[in-house]
Amino acid sequence: KEPIFILAIESSCDDTSAAVLCNKKKLSNVVATQKIHEEYGGVVPELASRAHQQNIVPVVHQALSKANIDKKQLSAIAFTRGPGLMGSLLVGTSFAKSLAIGLNIPLIEVNHMQAHILAHFIEEESMTAPTFPFLALTISGGHTQIVLVRDYFDMEILGETLDDAVGEAFDKSAKILGLPYPGGPLVDKYAQLGNPKTFQFTKPRVDGLNFSFSGLKTGILYFIQKEVKKNPDFVAENINDICASIQYTIIQILMDKLKKAVKDTGVKRIAIGGGVSANSGIRKALKEAEHLHGWITFIPKFEYCTDNAAMIGIVGYLKYKEAHFTKQDVTAKARYVI
């Protein structure tokens, strides 16, 4: 019976998040980002699970109080089963199970990658949901995938990264330039002031719709080392042009594969998600493609691009409608294909 209230929990990586949805609408979406990893230049799994354990109860309390509902009103608990870091997933999974038993309501497992895609179906005034079929490009620090989405739960991965994710390509390039972690937003910031055609980096040759970013990172490292030998101030003097050139190369890699995916499938609706969708260059390239190639692009609110529990909640709602519930003996799954 409507309305359906879903409490959703996300703990796959380094953000502890809880959200409450009323049908397709978000009532609250609380995210506790773990600062601890900054000093290590990347996510430390052991520290991430400990921080989840510390944060999860207050984050859930906050989500419920912001939504202004009592836990007795909840229809079901949705949680991220995977993919992600095992120690992180275990915290959310165990917590969701216990709460569902305690409240005597159904438990719903959610695939994190499906959630990034289905985030487009959260009802918000500023967002239009894509119609099926569409292509989803999921780009973040942990993932890079092109997925053909025929229906809510009928998805096919057309391509994915064979090594680093796009966000890692940004972050590792930034690290080479001496920028703090996560460097993606900084590369974007400097890139906007530079000339993208200044330096050329070799694009990887990868068959089909798969990606590879580790070669690009090595290419950038060797280039910088060579230039710094000639001029120790090379990076500082050229930071804008270097960032613009790196960003341009990464965007070209993404756009080339998207063009191929559109050609292969005939589908021109493109929905993007993941933290890298914040990148100004990729947003611009997608808008240009609307004019150049007649694509229709969908970019969710930034809140729903980065890891968040509201996207877990929308999947929870869609599964609830189909009475697609999960048994209490479910286990977290670090590798979990769509």
Q: How far is the CB of 232 from Zn ion (least distance, A)?
A: 38
Q: How far is the CB of 140 from Zn ion (least distance, A)?
A: 5
CB 120 within 8 A of CB 314: no
Q: Which residues bind to ligand KG4, rule: CB under 6 A? A: 13, 140-142, 167, 170-171, 182, 184-185, 188, 274-276, 278-279, 306-307
Instruction: Please report, as a single letter, which amino acid is at residue 153.
Output: F
329 known ligand binder: no
* Tokens found for residue 269: 């609706």
Give the DSSP H/E element, type plus range, for residue 154: strand 154-160
Taking the least distance from each CB to ligand KG4, the nearer of 304 and 317 is: 304
141 binds, among Zn ion, ligand KG4, none (CB under 5 to 8 A by kind): ligand KG4
Q: How far is the CB of 113 from Zn ion (least distance, A)?
A: 8
Residues 6 or more apart whose Cβ sits within 8 Å of residue 228: 234, 235
Site string for Zn ion, 298-317 (x = CB under 5 A): ---------x----------
Give the interface segment with Zn ion, choosing from 68-76, 132-140, 157-165, 189-197 (CB under 5 A): 132-140
Closest of 109, 127, 149, 122 to residue 269, by C-alpha:
149
Taking the least distance from each CB to ligand KG4, the nearer of 109 and 188 is: 188
167 known ligand binder: no
φ and ψ of 133, to 5 deg: -85, 155
Q: How far apart are CA 241 and CA 235, in angstroms?
A: 9
Strand partners, 149: 134, 155
160 is an interface residue for Zn ion by CB under 5 A: no
Buried b (16+ CB within 10 A) or exposed e, 144-164: bbbbbbeebeebebbbbbebb
Residue with tokens 């966000």: 167
Taking the least distance from each CB to Zn ion, the nearer of 95 and 304 is: 304
Number of residues near Zn ion (by CB under 5 A): 2
Give the residue numbers of the binding site for substrate.
138-142, 171, 184, 188, 279
Q: Residues comprising the binding site?
A: 112, 116, 138-142, 171, 184, 188, 279, 307
Residues near Zn ion (CB under 5 A) are 140, 307
